[in-house]
Structure 1
Amino acid sequence: MALKRPESVLVVLYDEHHRILLLQRNDDPSFWQSVTGTVEAGELPAETAVREVAEETGIVLTPLQLNDCSLINRYEIRRRWLHRYPQGTRFNTEHVFSACVSSASELVLTEHLAFEWLDKPDALAKLWSPSNRDAVEAFVPECRR
């Protein structure tokens, strides 16, 4: 297995009702998250975001649908995943994006066990990653009733 680069994207997907798409990880079923993925060599983070959304959900975004949140997080990699990175790597750099998509879109999961569309409070309670919770809080509009 090739080692991962410690640079990734986080893509928060939400629908027209401001519900957030959460994905349940295969390798840790208690870990619910938005779309994430490693920036490959020679790839721009926005290109990674579009690619990862398509790979993980089957949703094909146009560049115009993608919102660059102009936020870059740096966080410590979970100990259980350090073996995936070059020796001595402890931190990951994460570029944050968001996009509004239709929840009627058929999802094709390739890397996750399940998905849920949740309102903002429920998504915030279920998300494992602090940076993912912060992104949902900051970049998903409030639903006006």
Structure 2
Amino acid sequence: MAYKKPESALVVLYDQHYRVLLLQRQDDPTFWQSVTGALEEGELPLETAYREVCEEIGIDAKAHGFVVNDHDKQNQYEIRSRWLHRYPPGTVHNTEHVFSLQINSDLPLALTEHLQYEWVSKDEALARLWSPSNKEAVSLFVPSVP
């Protein structure tokens, strides 16, 4: 197995009603999150954001005319011990690039890496998300209901 690069993209998705998309992880059903994934070799963080949205929920954002917003924000966090084996030996921190994307929730989603999804209010998302950096991204970059 090839090791993951300890650099990732986090993409907070919200819809036309300002509801946040939450995804339930297969390997930890208590863990709800936004779209996220490691950068591949030679890939820019924005490219990763578009790729991961397509891979994880089956939406080709560019084909639909949706624009991923780059917030020029990076977080560094300690990788959960249960996932350290996925990274090069001695790696304990990941650098996360933060993005957001508004999509139409009427589009069908095709999950490939998660058990289920839910569209929830911003407040509910903040209460259910596990990752502090994911909570912060929702808080900062999902608009409040007008």
Q: TM-score range by the shorter chain?
A: over 0.9
Please point out which of 103, 106, 113 is paired with 2:105: 103
Q: 1:94 aligned to 2:102? A: no
Structure 2: which 5+ runs fail to align?
none
Consecutive aligned runs of 4 or more in structure 1 exceeding 2 Å deviation: none
Output the TM-score relative to the length of structure 1: 0.97
Q: Secondary structure at the match of 1:131?
A: helix
Structure 1: which 5+ runs fail to align?
none
**2: distance between equivalents of 1:87 and 1:129?**
23
Shift of 1:89: 0.2
Match of 1:130 in 2: 132
Match of 1:18 in 2: 18
**2: distance between equivalents of 1:79 and 1:105?**
36
The 8 Å contact of residues 66 and 103 in structure 2, kept in 1 or not, is answered as no
Shift of 1:64: 5.8
Q: Kindly tell me the number of residue pairs found equivalent between the two proteins.
A: 144
**2: distance between equivalents of 1:64 and 1:39?**
21
**2: distance between equivalents of 1:133 and 1:6?**
20
* Percent identity of paired positions between Structure 1 and Structure 2: 63
Match of 2:6 in 1: 6
Superposed CA RMSD in Å reads 0.9
Q: 1:70 aligned to 2:72? A: yes
The 8 Å contact of residues 66 and 102 in structure 2, kept in 1 or not, is answered as no
The amino acid across from 2:60 in the alignment is V
Q: Secondary structure at the match of 1:142?
A: coil
Match of 1:120 in 2: 122
Q: 1:49 aligned to 2:57? A: no
Output the TM-score relative to the length of structure 2: 0.97
